[in-house]
Amino acid sequence: MDDLWVFGYGSLIWRPGFAFLDRQPARLAGYHRALCIHSHVHRGTPQRPGLVFGLDRGGSCVGMAFRVAATDAESVVAYLRERELVTNVYRESHLPVRLHDGESVRALTYVVDRGHSQYAGRMTPAEAAVIVRGAHGQSGPNVDYVTSALAHITELGLKDRWLSEVVARL
């Protein structure tokens, strides 16, 4: 059995929650990181939903790829399913990513299900900022989630122009 690669693009980047052998920046083609999922609990309410990250179709996304030992793969997948598939707004996929060192690997990742009721769709940074600015859930203000995400992404040497534009409008 081969080692498992996991692609993180949001909080998995800085808080994976599982043991790994290696991590390095990686690019996923065909999807981009976006605040495209309505949060009704952690960063918003049903009356005033917030926004959290999903991988949506189009473009590309630079995130972090984690190599997990084959012996830990089953437990890591179980953990990720519990963490990411609570409301089934994501589809579990194995997609090709290009690692920083140039190697291509297939990585487990979670892509937004556009048919799910929590899918917020594409929006401009200005539209996203309006929603984020007014939302607050059990885990705190949506603004804190978004600004923290950008800080962690930047700290790791990654760039996200769209997210930077959202934060600039908060």
Q: Where are the alpha helices (DSSP H) in 6-158?
A: 73-84, 125-133, 142-155
Q: Which residues contact 50 (CB under 8 A, 6 or more apart)?
A: 38, 39, 42, 43, 44, 131, 132, 135, 136, 137, 142, 145
Handedness of CA 107, 113, 118, 120 (dihedral sign): positive
| Active-site choice (74, 82, 84, 165) | 84
82 is catalytic: no
Q: What is the dihedral of CA 7, 133, 129, 58, to 10 degrees?
A: 30
Give the count of beta carbons closer than 10 Å to the beta carbon of residue 74. Answer: 12
Contact 72, 127 (CB under 8 A): no
Contact 3, 73 (CB under 8 A): yes
Contact 132, 143 (CB under 8 A): yes
Tokens in use for 138?
A: 């059990």
Q: Give the catalytic positions in this structure.
A: 84
